[in-house]
Structure 1
Amino acid sequence: MKSSSLAAAAVAVALLLSVCVNGFDDQVSATKPLVKTVKGKKLCDKGWECKGWSQYCCNLTITDFFQTYQFEELFSNRNAPVAHAVGFWDFQSFILAAALFEPLGFGTTGGKLMQMKELAAFLGHVGSKTSCGYGVATGGPLAWGLCYNREMSPMQSYCDDFYKYTYPCSPGAEYYGRGALPIYWNYNYGAAGEALKVDLLNHPEYIEQNATLAFQAAIWRWMTPIKKSQPSAHEAFVGTWKPTKNDTLSKRFPGFGTTMNVLYGDQVCGQGDIDAMNNIVSHYQYYLDLMGVGREEAGPHEVLTCAEQLAFNPTTQASS
């Protein structure tokens, strides 16, 4: 991911903050794209939401097909009295965060159907990882995404001294789970902070204080491979990743299942139809339905799940 692209988009997002205090939906619908052709390739710039002359900005952008009321439907109980992050998460914070990555293809790759499916997939992960829903909860267990913005009772500070020369733990800092796709460990805070140009290594608490930053960190993780030789969750989902022979033998195919492999590895994959995996899948299907796409678009079992997939990065006995 090019830091220059992120920096340019960050400037656009900063400018938008000055005009989006009121009338957010009016602002997002008023932008007209600029278009030019470079070496036979059509490039577009849509201003604040898709800034920086990108082929992806010539497609629909997220606010073209995803509105405030849909966000409210997907996360209908996030501000319920029993939720743990009341007042933190909102549609505007998500859109401002997404604007940084739309020129790179987040929610802007392919046609409208693929774009909506990717958004449902990403938010499906977010919903499952921040949910406080349970079987008899009001609205059902899938209606409680974005209930949390932090780990409530961390058992440790998540400081790994192995990275003391690259991402040294800051005195007094605790690197427990925070955010929309919760970040754990000093090295993950360090890497996310470098990409987003925010000092998260010394100030991991920023993630639970700023919803836009929390969404940015989650989208960065979605868009960024764990290792250079592997796909990002985004690439695995939209199909720009081409599996190798080893991937095929490991039953890894483009689709939602492989996004779980990228993000969680053998914590949820390669263990059959376990609850941890099925919960994430159920959130994705639930959001597809609410967005009007329909869960039938999620694909067959081998694409939708990672039940039989070998992990990209298997955990070892020592690290576990």
Structure 2
Amino acid sequence: MEAKWLVLFSVAAMLVALANCQESLKPLVKMVKGKKLCDKGWECKGWSKYCCNHTISDYFQTYQFEDLFAKRNTPVAHAVGFWDYHSFITAAAQYQPHGFGTTGEKLQNMKEVAAFLGHVGSKTSCGYGVATGGPLAWGLCYNKEMSPSKIYCDDYYKYTYPCTPGVSYHGRGALPIYWNYNYGETGEALKVDLLNHPEYLEDNATLAFQTAMWRWMTPMKKHQPSAHDVFVGNWKPTKNDTLAKRVPGFGTTMNVLYGDQVCGQGDSDSMNNMISHYLYYLDLLGVGREEAGPHDMLTCEEQEPFTVSPSSATSS
């Protein structure tokens, strides 16, 4: 009899705990000047209209992260044990109140996460044509450039972002950043001393994701949109943009992030690699690549670049 009551008590306790857990997931809601604002706690905090929508963990879970990056912890990968779902979600919590993966309906949000990770996967992949699982299964294989050819120090920025002696500013992170000025600017934005300690990006996966998300959410130059804005439809092309064949969609995210390094170059391997990762991730998430839109939204092969690289710049 006593055992029976213990079982019943345990079941009741579990139900109460579950109810409390579900209760904690309900957003706090308030109206400000006729607008609904929400606060969902740690993942989407700070009274934002975007926190009233699905947050990323509502539709993108651990098993899906594992599906997208299935080969990242295989013995031949170069960042085994570094990248994980928890680091991604923790990093995303900083940007979800600003619309990262939370801008609209669930489908739109899933597409943005797939687009962002499509860039990440293509830039950190060690996949190749005959790789086990296919070349698209090897995203997040790297967290740094393995054999840098130089230290990427530009003395033009010696008064604003001076290079630290003995430090190399080669590519690191989920969307690898290069050059002292990029480490300096990103570090200022995130309040982390990346100029003196760029190695932080290969030591901390959450920070490595955060730098990539900051870049996705932030215009790289004045009078330009962010990759986020061109993807979710916040950006309205001007007449000049239309003449330059820049339209909202995945193609223009490549233009924002890489300019003439990728766009306006015709049918390039680099561009197609990013597109392939995006479409592959849409399929794995159950969204389907048909939701990516028409060809002109996917590519930037004929787009006039937003930015033209100086002769000293290389890959980013």
Fold match (TM-score > 0.5): yes
Contact 1:43 1:55 (8 Å CA) reproduced: yes
Tell me if 1:212 matches 2:206. Answer: yes
The code of the aligned residue for 1:31 comes to: L
Tell me if 1:176 matches 2:170. Answer: yes
The code of the aligned residue for 1:211 comes to: A
**Corresponding residue for 1:253?**
247
Cα distance 1:318–1:184, how it changes in 2: closer, same or farther (>3 A)?
closer
Contact 1:124 1:284 (8 Å CA) reproduced: yes
Tell me if 1:81 matches 2:75. Answer: yes
**Corresponding residue for 1:12?**
none
Deviation at 1:30, TM superposition (A): 4.8
Deviation at 1:31, TM superposition (A): 2.4
Tell me if 1:291 matches 2:291. Answer: no
**Corresponding residue for 2:215?**
221
SS of equivalent to 1:258: helix
**Corresponding residue for 2:187?**
193
The code of the aligned residue for 1:181 comes to: L
Q: State how far apart, in whole Å, the 2-side matches of 1:122 and 1:286 are.
A: 13
Q: State how far apart, in whole Å, the 2-side matches of 1:269 and 1:45 are.
A: 39
Q: State how far apart, in whole Å, the 2-side matches of 1:88 and 1:27 are.
A: 29
**Corresponding residue for 1:10?**
none
- Aligned match of 1:313 in 273, 296, 307? 307
**Corresponding residue for 1:146?**
140
Q: State how far apart, in whole Å, the 1-side matches of 2:244 and 2:90 are.
A: 37
Contact 1:118 1:238 (8 Å CA) reproduced: yes
The code of the aligned residue for 1:301 comes to: H
Structure 2 matches for 1:75-154, cutoff 5 A?
Answer: 75-154=69-148
SS of equivalent to 1:109: coil
Q: State how far apart, in whole Å, the 1-side matches of 2:262 and 2:273 are.
A: 10
**Corresponding residue for 1:163?**
157
**Corresponding residue for 1:33?**
27
**Corresponding residue for 1:49?**
43
Q: State how far apart, in whole Å, the 2-side matches of 1:30 and 1:196 are.
A: 29
Spell out, residue by residue over 1:177-218, the C-alpha distance to the aligned partner (whole angstroms, 9 max, x if none).
000000100111111111111100110000000000000000
Cα distance 1:218–1:319, how it changes in 2: closer, same or farther (>3 A)?
closer
Deviation at 1:315, TM superposition (A): 2.5
Q: Which runs of 5+ in 1 are unaligned?
A: 1-25
Q: State how far apart, in whole Å, the 2-side matches of 1:318 and 1:292 are.
A: 42
Contact 1:28 1:63 (8 Å CA) reproduced: no
Q: State how far apart, in whole Å, the 2-side matches of 1:266 and 1:69 are.
A: 36
Tell me if 1:233 matches 2:227. Answer: yes
The code of the aligned residue for 2:193 comes to: D
**Corresponding residue for 1:22?**
none
**Corresponding residue for 1:300?**
294
Deviation at 1:267, TM superposition (A): 1.1
The code of the aligned residue for 2:138 comes to: W
User: Which sits farther off after the overlay, 118-127 or 264-273?
Assistant: 264-273
Q: State how far apart, in whole Å, the 1-side matches of 2:254 and 2:313 are.
A: 20
- Aligned match of 1:65 in 39, 59, 65? 59
Deviation at 1:170, TM superposition (A): 1.1
Identical amino acids, percent of aligned pairs? 77
SS of equivalent to 1:36: strand
Deviation at 1:237, TM superposition (A): 0.4
SS of equivalent to 2:80: coil
The code of the aligned residue for 2:29 comes to: V
Q: Which runs of 5+ in 2 are unaligned?
A: 1-19
- Aligned match of 1:278 in 272, 276, 281? 272
SS of equivalent to 2:199: helix
**Corresponding residue for 1:244?**
238
User: Which sits farther off after the overlay, 60-69 or 307-316?
Assistant: 307-316
Q: State how far apart, in whole Å, the 2-side matches of 1:244 and 1:153 are.
A: 42
Spell out, residue by residue over 1:148-203, the C-alpha distance to the aligned partner (whole angstroms, 9 max, x if none).
00000000111111111111111121110000000100111111111111100110
Deviation at 1:274, TM superposition (A): 1.1
Deviation at 1:266, TM superposition (A): 1.1
Deviation at 1:29, TM superposition (A): 9.6
**Aligned Cα root-mean-square deviation (Å):** 1.5
